[in-house]
Chains A and B, each alone.
Chain A
Amino acid sequence: MAATVNVDYNYRFASMLLAEAPSKRQLRLATSGGAEKNPHFFSGRFKSPKQSADLLIALSAISRTRFFSPSELQARMLAAADPVVTSDGDQLRFEVFSVCCGTYARLDLRGNGLDGDWIGKGTTNVDFNPPMRAALSSVMNSEKVGLRIGADGVELERANETVLERKVKLPVRWLKGFVEVQVYQAGLRQAIELPALELAKIIRTLPKQNFLQAGVITYLVPAGKSVRLSQREAPGAIAVGAISRLKTLEPILRYAKTVRIYDSEDAVSAFELTFDEGSFFFVMSPNAARGFSGEGQALASFAQSSSSDILGRVKSALAWQQKIDPVGLSVSLNVDKELVHNALQVLGSRGLVGYDLSTAAFFHRELPFDLTLVEELHPRMKKARQLVDEKSVRLVPGKEGEYEAYVKGSSGDHFIQVSQDSCRCTCDWFAKNQGERGPCSHILAAEIAMQAEDAK
């Protein structure tokens, strides 16, 4: 049985699309959690109601999608978690993570798409119940649609009788993935920008996602003004794992002007659909059968020795910034820029900052979940700590800035080499993944032991 974390959603009312007058409705999103219990962020209206409604529906659909369903799991579908919304006083960011933990989506609605009052800043969950979704899908272009995220005290008083409580067991792997994906995004680089229609043409040729294609990497190769699909890596080719997952974007591509595609060396890819009033991000793991939770990119951050002092100082400098400037922060905190960046990575892996691909910068948001368990329950991290506790790690000094270690494993001693640029281990898991899915438990154990040694 997978480890889970209990999350209590405590909405003071059910989200709804309220009819105020003919052709005038208001989307009232109930909030739960965050710094306040039921925060109130925004009150105003959408400038493009239909487009915004369809984007929110698409986002919500991703949060309920399982792109990979191993047969043994089909019967026990996991509870989908409600979207997370962050208000920074100028834009709203809605974030979701798919049930299979392999895709992350975010809708940024900028200030120019909204007209109204910014009441509060913060991060919270919003209720996306089926009747609300159904009503949202009926929004027409000719309508005026208001938006309220949260409610003020008086309204909450009135709504007291219709408290909506849901207790959800969120899998730890889901939470792990949610934080892991931020670290991954920080490593992505923009590869190409296309007219949205060109991506639509590609998507229509894709077969339906099936389990056989879960691990297949397909490449988007620049061809003229567009791209074509290829199965072979080539200079300039963008690697996309289980590419059929892009079909999810098909219904909203018609609103997009351009598509920016981001890629990385480890086949994590991201697609940003740009609109006049915001962006829609869709980040995919390299393999549909492998969620971000299993990748372990944040593990290095967990094991890292970013001093708690620096971490604390960077954390205290967070004030719902849209774009955190590591250089500015390093000057104001009088800390090396590299250390600030490392600290932001660690904060990302603790759900305290997200990463915005379009600005290539972290932004402040605090996931409304208890993330302490993420680190505690990560199997590799847990095992690494156990190895250290059992004194199964023997460190051997290496050259300047390098060290070696022997770590006891289930099949003999594993030989570990750690340098500034790379680390490697003789275990099967590392041999198979070559660090693509983060460090193995033996490398983590060696790093923890090394830090303990340094601390002495």
Chain B
Amino acid sequence: MIASALDEIIIAADETRCEDFFRGMKEAQRKELAPRALQWASALNGFVNRERPQFLVFDKDASGDIEFYRSIEQGKIAFPNDFKEQSFPVARMAVLATANFPEVKKFGLKGLPAPKVAARILVDRKPTWIDKWCALVLKESTGTHWLALYRLEKEGLCKIERNSSYWISMLCGLSDQELFSELLSEDASLAEEVWQMLDDAGVARALAEPERIAHEIFRKRWNSGGNIFASMEVATRKGNNVFHESLIQMVERNLLDKDRLIEYSFNSLSVIGEAEAKRSPYQSVSEADFSMRLNKELLNGAAAPFANRFASLLKAAHKDVSTYASTVLIEMPMESLSVEDVCAEIGPAFLTKSKEPAEAALKLLSCLAKNFPEKRECYGPAIISAFSHSSKDIHKKALSLVESTKVLELPEVFSEFTQRVDMIQGMERAKAMALAEKYKNTSEGALGSSSDSAASSSASPQFPTQALSSIDEAEILERAQTVDDSLRTLSCIDCAVEAYKAQTVCDTPVMLDSLNFPRLNPATAIKPISSLDDLIYMFMKVWSGKCTAMELECVLDGVSRLCNERPSDFQQKTDALRQKAELRDQEFSMVGWTGTLAQVAASWVGDSRAADATGKVIVADPSSIFARRCLSLSKRIVSKQAAPLLCAPTHAGGWIDPMVLVKRINEYFWIKLEPDKVDFIQALLRIAPDNRTEALEAAASIKGEIGEALRYALGSGMGRVITPEYWVAAFRARDPKGTNGELGKLLPKFGPDGHEPAIYGFDLSEVSAFANDRFASQGGLPNFLPVMSADPDFPISKAAQGSYLQTAAQYNARMACRNRYALFPTVLLHDNAVSWFAGSEAYNWLHNRESLLALYAKRMLLNIESVGSYWHGDFELLFDPDISLAENGRYFLCFAMSSKNNDLSRLAVDALIAAVAERRITAAGYGEAMSQLLPTGVITAVRWTRGLRDMSRTSALHAWFVWQSVGILIEKAPINSTQQIPFLELLTEIQIEHGFKIHEALRTQLSKISGSGKAAKLAKTMLSGKSSLNGSAETLASLQCLQARVERCERWQIRSSIKVEQIV
């Protein structure tokens, strides 16, 4: 009977009757009614969702309920078939009033009536599981049922822990302003809870954007596989203003303390201000926006009493907070401000990258200066701190404020100013210098009279005349006279001395393409691996990929010599290496995916399989020489023939002492071992120019074609050519840029750097084409440094390169063209196909580096916008003092300095600094390269100027180099005046710093820049700029240039003095 009464109430959809029905009911009776209530809830859920099949994907329960409802509808189950949606809330009440906790938990939303009703039912029922229910509701219905929890706690039925979920739930309750106001007016202690809630970090985040709560609930549901629609029921979907409006309304109704809320808004701004602004693209309102708006509305124009609070916000790292604070302070009556406090706080406003806070701060300082002219000692240093900002606009505004306020009259401010002048860029630097000059006497006088002379050390910047006197020019000139004649010529010392006397700088590079200076530096002799243990560990290191190209060479040499050492514990010592070799194809190493090192390891420590059992085909490219060497070494190891590796370098830079090479070859003959072809060719291409005469004598007894080719490389005449590969290598070792007619007859239509030297052209259209379409190169390299070649098929032309999608026949034809040069490393270096740096090719040919540098330059261009480093190679050769960067190397540096990868561009600056200091590059050549490349559109000018600016600070010689090369860029590059601005700014700075003379061609070019634009102003500033007295700037640079050349020759002389016997 009671069950039928329940049916009637549910069918009638009467909530009041339902509540009355259960009021005071005993648990036993409730238990009896529970199954019926649960049935009703399921059936009604099925009824409500009967037309929503999409719902079933997410809610498995609902599909069961729909099925249950359908069975009732079809009369399969005896149940009242009288459904309407309004009955569902009543059924939910019935579930909560009758079911036990597991059932309520299982039924979820089907057993959860509206908060007020739920609270009333539970207050009446007082179940034992009320704490569990509260925890469940807090977890599953965070956004909707805080009120129920509040009521239950007020009734003393439960005690709920105050945690983040509770506070968020309470916050959602706050969205119902009327209800919350009612509660606050009834319960004074609730207000205190509101403050605690507002202190919660999660609440602070959600206040600004209520949608976040829904998102968070959705995320949790989605991750846990629960009801993802729960978030839709969150009562906060009322726009972004809901909490803001609620808080303001509570204050207006005196339900919340206004002063405390003001304090809260300030505290929030302080906390938000600790971090830089970071707004998600999906966020419409930031926490800063919310707090600023709340603060503004609460203060309603009466901000003056809070001047100090606003002052403390000036230092916020968050740009909006700092800007807001400045803006409010500007609008405030000035008498309410403490100038001291504002100025002490304002410095960090100039540290943000954004301009807004800095601009607002300067505006505030300007107001202070206007209203408190007597407090210059406060705002003076604050204005100077504006130069910490990176924007030139800010510098400009700060300078005009410095000028108008005359703060430089104060010695301490003047001192601070001069220390920061070098932070100012471009034309503003000129203005700053003029200001410093203007106030120099006043301030220095005051400084001198001041008892605190801490700042006296920083006088206004001067041209480097003083620095000149610190260099002993007489000593350098004397040392220049003692240098060996042939070395002086190579180093152009006479030219440098003449230039010094004429107060100019000798821009001729040291002649590094010569074989007439020694390469073998005893201090950098390579120590070969001497023990098996060392070899095992070094092999593991090299294989890990963390090694230099030289360590790789040492390991190969070690294996070659020590491969027959088999102590009793060999198997155990090399066990890890063996296991690794078995996974050969899965390993990555600096030599790429070739598996070549694995092959060597397997041959050495593994089974005695034939080394080429892998069946790999080695495609000829610049790095394939290394692969071939590994293959031949593997074969020798398998045949248990230990011998030194012919091409193992004896000195840094990859050089082999010819005497050592002769000794190694002799060893081969003693043990009756035929030297390997590729090993011998590689060795020839690494023979140092030192000790060749002695080596030639020592090599007299070496028989066969190898002996003849070796002697030819060392300076003897040509023999009978059987293996052209030997002779090309030998010829290139003795005459890197020469032509050999005899070889030409044997090798007609041959590639560059075979019997004929490579002659490089310059094709700007390739760079421009790449700038327009970076994917147009079809897998090959943009060939802007084309070489003349007698072989029409090599280097492979762009047309022959074809597309990525090509037929097998096309591919094979391309491979055949390249494979012809498989054992001609000098020719193979001109291959344009491989776009990554292999690392191992750095030591392929040491006598002429132009082909490798051209390859590097092309690869650099291809990767100019790459921020990754996966394609980087061994850039160590850029720092080799004996490698010229004056030709193709300069293009590499130009592109690398414009690289998007910061680290690489910085490395390029390092390389340029080294090259300038060692006179391996010319200002004229570098300027020309820059003027060629800038108009193509592939260069990012600010990256260049950033690097060049850094470089110009290194020494007078470096500053002169930048001055000259950028001057040439301005003269020659067909660019408009806007493009010229960053370079003109740089030149202006250098002119101010050093006072270099403007040469005629640049003067003419500068005078052509007309109009009233920035470029014209910069040009005018430069033309009216001062030069250093008596050309002292040029003199210092010239002396440094001469010193560098003399020191180089002295280093070479030390190398030459090492006797052959010592080496052998």
> Within 8 Å of chain A (Cβ to Cβ): is B803?
no
8 Å CB interface, A371-418 against B: 396, 406, 409, 411-415, 417
With known contacts A230-B906, A413-B572, A204–B390 Cβ distance under 8 A: yes
For residue A231, which residues in chain B have a CB less than 8 angstroms away from its CB?
903-904, 906-907, 910
- Provide the residues of chain B in CB contact with A218, threshold 8 Å: 903, 906
B393 contacts partner chain A, Cβ-Cβ < 8 Å: no
Q: Is A427 an interface residue (CB 8 A)?
A: yes
Minimum CB–CB distance from B560 to chain A (whole Å) comes to 20
Interface 1/0 per residue, B384-422 and A, CB below 8 Å: 010010100000000000000000000000000001101
- Contact across chains for A141 and B902 when beta carbons are under 8 A apart: no
Asked whether, in the complex, the Cβ of B903 is within 8 Å of the Cβ of A213, the reply is yes
Q: CB-nearest residue of chain B relative to A212?
A: B867
**B 680-727 contacts with A by CB, 8 A:** none
Given contact pairs A409-B576, A411-B579, A57 touches B274 in the complex (Cβ within 8 A): yes
Cβ of A137 and Cβ of B576 under 8 Å apart? Answer: no
Q: Please determine whether A142 and B341 come into contact, CB atoms closer than 8 angstroms.
A: yes
A414-445 interface (Cβ within 8 A of B)? 414-415, 417, 424, 426-428, 430-432, 434
Contact A137 B270 (CB under 8 A): yes
Task: Please indicate the chain B residues that have their CB under 8 angstroms from the CB of A232 in the complex.
Answer: 879, 907, 910
- Decide yes or no whether B347 CB sits under 8 A from chain A: yes
**B348 on the interface (CB 8 Å rule)?**
yes
A130 near B199: Cβ-Cβ < 8 Å: yes
A168 at interface (Cβ–Cβ under 8 A)? no
**Considering only CB atoms, which chain B residue lies closest to A426 in the complex?**
B576
Q: Is chain A's interface secondary structure helix, strand, loop, or mixed overall?
A: mixed
Decide: A140 near B274, CB < 8 A? Known: A130-B267, A200-B388, A218-B906: no
A432/B270 contact (C-beta < 8 A), A142-B341, A251-B315, A427-B576 known: no
Measured CB to CB, the closest approach of chain A to B826, in angstroms, equals: 29
Q: For residue B315, which residue of chain A has the nearest CB?
A: A251
- The residue from A133, A200, A204, A212 contacting B274, defined by CB atoms under 8 A apart: A133
Complex interface: chain A residues within 8 A of B423 (CB) = 201, 204
* Chain B residues with CB under 8 A of A200: 388
A135 at the interface (CB under 8 A from B): yes
Given contacts A130-B271, A230-B906, contact A413 B575 (CB under 8 A): yes
Cβ A137 vs Cβ B315 within 8 A: yes
- Complex formed: what's the CA distance from A424 to B544 in Å? 15
A191 at the interface (CB under 8 A from B): no
Minimum Cβ distance to chain A for residue B352 (Å)? 10
Interface size on A, as a range, is 35 or more
Closest to B911 in A: A232
Per the bound structure, the CA–CA distance linking A91 and B576 in Å amounts to 53
Interface assignment of B774: CB less than 8 Å from any CB of chain A: no
A130 surroundings in chain B (CB, below 8 A) = 199, 201, 267, 271
A204 in contact with B388 given A142-B338, A251-B317, A417-B533 (CB within 8 Å)? yes
For A223, what are the chain B residues with a Cβ–Cβ distance below 8 Å?
953-954
Instruction: Flag whether B580 is at the interface (Cβ < 8 A).
Output: yes
Tell me whether A207 and B308 are in contact (CB under 8 A).
Answer: no
User: In the docked arrangement, what's the CA distance between A396 and B533, Å?
Assistant: 14
Which residues of chain B are near A310, meaning CB under 8 Å? none
What's the tally of chain B residues with a CB closer than 8 Å to chain A?
Answer: 64
Tell yes or no: B273 within 8 A of A by CB: yes
Counting CB contacts under 8 A, is A313 at the interface? no
Query: Which among A138, A250, A414 is the interface contact of B312 at CB below 8 angstroms?
Result: A138
Is A361's beta carbon under 8 Å from chain B? no
Please indicate the chain A residues that have their CB under 8 angstroms from the CB of B543 in the complex. 431
Q: Does A197 sit at the interface, judged by CB under 8 A? A: yes
B311, closest chain A residue (CB): A140
Contact with B along A46-89 (1 / 0, CB 8 A): 00001000100100010000000000000000000000000000
Contact A411 B576, beta carbon cutoff 8 Å: yes
Asked if A426 and B388 sit within 8 Å, CB to CB, the answer is no
Q: Which of B570-584 contact A (CB under 8 A)?
A: 572-580
The reply to whether the CB of B537 lies closer than 8 angstroms to some CB of chain A is yes
Residues in A whose Cβ lies below 8 Å from that of B338? 140, 142
B308 x A413 contact (CB < 8 A): no
| Nearest CB of B to A314, in Å | 36
With a 10 A CB-CB cut-off, give which of B199, B572, B867, B953 has the most chain A CB atoms.
B572
A37 within 8 A of B: no
Chain B positions within 8 Å of A138 at CB level: 266, 270, 308-309, 312
**B744 part of interface (Cβ distance < 8 Å):** no
Q: Which of A205, A216, A428 contacts B903 (CB 8 A)?
A: A216
Cα A142 to Cα B343 in complex, Å, equals 12
Pick the contact of B347: A141, A254, A406 (CB < 8 A).
Answer: A254
B423 closest partner in A (C-beta)? A201
A24 at the interface (CB under 8 A from B): no
Given A137-B312, A228-B954, A415-B576, A428 and B544 contact (CB-CB distance below 8 Å): yes
> Does B540 sit at the interface, judged by CB under 8 A?
yes
Chain A, residue nearest B876 (CB)? A232
Q: In this assembly, does A131 line the interface, its C-beta being within 8 Å of a C-beta of chain B?
A: yes
Q: Tell me, in angstroms, the Cα distance from A207 to B275 when the chains sit together.
A: 16
- CB <8 Å contact, B315 and A142: no
Distance of A107 from chain B, by nearest CB (Å): 16
**Contact indicator A229/B540 (Cβ below 8 Å):** no
Contact B344 A207 (CB under 8 A): no
Select which of B267, B385, B569, B906 is within 8 A of A135 by beta carbon: B267
Contacts of B879 in A (CB 8 A): 232
Cβ of A452 within 8 Å of any chain B Cβ, yes or no, is no
A216 to B869, CA, bound (A): 10
Task: State whether B536 touches A134 (Cβ < 8 A).
Answer: no
Given contacts A218-B906, A231-B906, contact A134 B267 (CB under 8 A): yes
B351 at the interface (CB under 8 A from A): yes
In the complex, which residues 554-593 of chain B have their Cβ closer than 8 Å to any Cβ of chain A? 569, 572-580
B344, closest chain A residue (CB): A141
Within 8 Å CB of B580, what residues of A? 411, 428
The residue in chain B whose Cβ has the minimal distance to the Cβ of A132 is B267
Q: How far is the CA of A411 from the CA of B580 in the complex (A)?
A: 8
Contact across chains for A428 and B540 when beta carbons are under 8 A apart: yes
- Does A134 lie within 8 Å of B270, measured CB to CB? yes
By Cβ-Cβ distance, the 3 closest A-B pairs, closest first, are: A134-B270, A134-B267, A431-B540
Known: A130-B271, A428-B576, A431-B540. 11 other contacts (CB 8 A): A131-B267, A204-B388, A216-B903, A229-B950, A232-B879, A251-B317, A412-B578, A412-B579, A415-B576, A417-B537, A426-B576
Identify 19 residue pairs between A and B in the complex whose beta-carbon atoms are under 8 Å apart, listed by A's number.
Answer: A130-B267, A137-B274, A138-B308, A141-B341, A141-B344, A201-B423, A204-B351, A204-B423, A231-B903, A231-B907, A232-B907, A409-B576, A411-B576, A412-B578, A415-B573, A426-B575, A431-B540, A432-B545, A434-B541
